[in-house]
Structure 1
Amino acid sequence: MDYGLLRFFHILGAVLIGAGLVGVWMSDLRARQLRRLEPFAEAVRSIAVFYDGLVVPGALLLMVSGGALIATVYGGLDAFRVPWIAGMVALFAFEFIEGNTVTRLYFMRLRRLSRAALEAGRGIAELERAREAAVPAFTHFLDLPLFVLIVALATLRPESWTAFGLGAAVAVTAATALTLLIPRLYPWTLDEAPASPLPAPRGEGAPAPKSKRPPL
C-alpha cells in the first residue's frame, strides 16, 4: 500500500482515539458532578458511546496502519531498536490491553449498575462502591497522558530512552495526581430526594374552580 495512504489512516486512527478519549474524560467528569440518577446514567451511557464509537475503531485503525508502516517502511523487526518506535509500540500495546480490560470493563459495569438503579428507582450500594474504585479511576486518568506521550514520541522522535522514561514518569505522576484530586473536588453521592409532583393540568383530575357569582 502507498506510504501516503498508510500515513493518512495512521493519523486518522490517532485523531479518532484522541477525540474518543477526550469525550470519555469529559463525560466521566460530568458524571461526577451529577447528583440525580437519570442524568448520571445518561452521562455513563455517553462514555460507552465514545469508547465503542471512536476509541475502539481508532485503535484498530492505528494498529493495522502502524503495523503496515513498520513492516514496509521502517525495516520490520529492526524498527524496535529505535527508541521512539519501540516506545510507541509498547505504550500502545499497554493502552490497548488496559483500556479493553480494566477501564472499558469498569465503565460497562458502571453502565449496568446505573441501569439497575434506574429500574429500582433509587441508588444502590453496589453502584456507589463501584464509583469509588481507585484502580479503574487511575487507569482512566492514565489514558490521556499516555496518548499525549505517544503523540510526542511520533512527533519529536527522540533517539534515546531518556526522553521516553521522563515522559512515562510525567504521565504516571499526572494520572496519580488526577486520581487523588478529582474525587476530592467532586465527591459523588446520589440525591435521594424525590422529584416534586407536577400540578395536574385542568381536565385531568384537577377540579374546575367554583364560580363566585351570586345567585340571581
Structure 2
Amino acid sequence: MKSTLIKLPIITSVLLCIAFLLGKFMPSFVLLKLLHVLAFITLGSGLIGVVVSDLRARRAADFPLLVDSIEAMLGFYYRLVVPGSMLILLSGFSMVFGYYGWSFMEIPWLAGMMVLFVFEFFEGHLIMKFHYLKLKQGILAAKQANAPVPELEHELRARLTLATHFLDVPNFTLIVVLGIVRPTDWTLFSYGLVLVVAVTTWMAVVIPKRHPWKGLRKMSPVLDAHAQAS
C-alpha cells in the first residue's frame, strides 16, 4: 500500500515531463491525437470489462466461477485500465502543453475533460488500486486455503469502493462526450455532471440489490482443477 503512494507521484511526474517534451518536440499533432484515441479505446474497454466481470462475479453460483470472474476483473484493470489511463495522461497533456498551453483553461470542453480525467486518474490509482490489491490478496489466500476466506468476502462487500467502482464508466462517458461535442460553454459539463452522479447513484443502489454478493461460505469450498492450476 505504501509503495503505491510513493510510486504514483513519481510515475505521474515522469509522465508529465515526457508529455511536456513530446508536446514541444513532436512534429505531428496527428500522431499525438492517434495515440490519444487508442488510449481512450484501451481505457474504455478496460472499464467496461471491469463492470461486466463484477456483474458476472455477483451472479456466480459457485466459488470457482467467482474466482474466475474476480481474476478477470483484475486482468481488465491491470492490463487495460492502468496502461490506458497512463497513455491518456501522456498523450493528453502532450497536446495541451504543445498546442494549447494555459489557454486550455478558457476552453470549456477541454478544461472539463481535464478536470474529469484528473479526478478519475487519481481515484482509479488510489482508491480502486487499494481495493484491487486487497482483492488480489484475498484471491491468493482463497487459493492457498482452497476455500472462501473472510478477507475476500469483507473486501467484496466494502462500501467505500462501491460508489467509485460504478462511477468510472459514467464519468468516462462524459469525458468522451465533451471531446466529441466540444461545447463552447459549461452547460453540457454541468448537466452531464448531474447525470453522472444520478447514474452512479442508481447503479450503486440498484445493482447490489438485484445482484447481491452471495454468502461465500454457502458456496462450494473446493476449487476445480482449472482454478487451482491458474
Q: Is the 8 A contact 2:63 2:221 kept in 1?
A: no
Query: 1:35·1:188 contact (CA, 8 Å) conserved in 2?
Result: no
Measure how far apart 1:193 and its partner are: 4.3
State the structure with more CA Rg. 1
Q: Is the 8 A contact 2:109 2:184 kept in 1?
A: yes
Is 1:144 the counterpart of 2:162? The answer is: no
Paired residue secondary structure (2:53): helix
Aligned to 2:85: 59
Instruction: Tell me which residue corresponds to 1:7.
Output: 33
The aligned residue for residue 199 of structure 1 is none
Match runs of 1:63-212 below 5 Å = 63-74=89-100, 76-189=101-214, 190=216, 191-193=218-220
**Aligned counterparts of 2:76 and 2:220: Cα–Cα separation in 1:** 31
Q: What is the number of equivalent residue pairs in this alignment?
A: 194
What secondary structure is seen at the aligned counterpart in 2 of 1:35? Answer: coil
1:64–1:192 Cα change, 3 Å = closer
What are the superposed Cα offsets for residues 139-197 of structure 1, whole Å, 9 maximum, x if unpaired? 010000000000000011111122111111111111111111111111212233466xx
Q: CA RMSD in A?
A: 1.5
CA–CA distance in structure 2, aligned partners of residues 64 and 194 of structure 1: 45
Q: Larger % of helix: which?
A: 2
* Contact preservation (8 Å) 2:146, 2:221: no
SS of match in other structure, 1:123: coil
Separation in 2, partners of 1:194, 1:68: 50
1:18 is matched with which residue: 44, 52, 58?
Answer: 44
**Which 4+ stretches in 1 moved above 6 angstroms?**
none
Look up the equivalent residue of 1:192 and give its one-letter code: M
Q: How many angstroms does 1:119 deviate by?
A: 2.1
Shift of the 13–122 alpha-carbon distance from structure 1 to 2, 3 Å rule, reads: same
Percentage of identical aligned residues: 38
Deviation at 1:8, TM superposition (A): 0.3
Cα 1:22/1:194, change in 2 over 3 Å: closer
- Which TM-score applies when normalising by structure 1? 0.85
Q: 1:193 to 1:47 in 2, by over 3 A?
A: closer
TM-score normalised by the chain length of structure 2? 0.80
Evaluate the alpha carbon distance shift between residue 13 and residue 121 of structure 1 in structure 2; reply closer, same or farther with a 3 A threshold: same
More deviation, 83-92/119-128? 119-128
- Aligned-pair CA distance for 1:127: 2.2
- State the shift of 1:136 in Å: 0.6
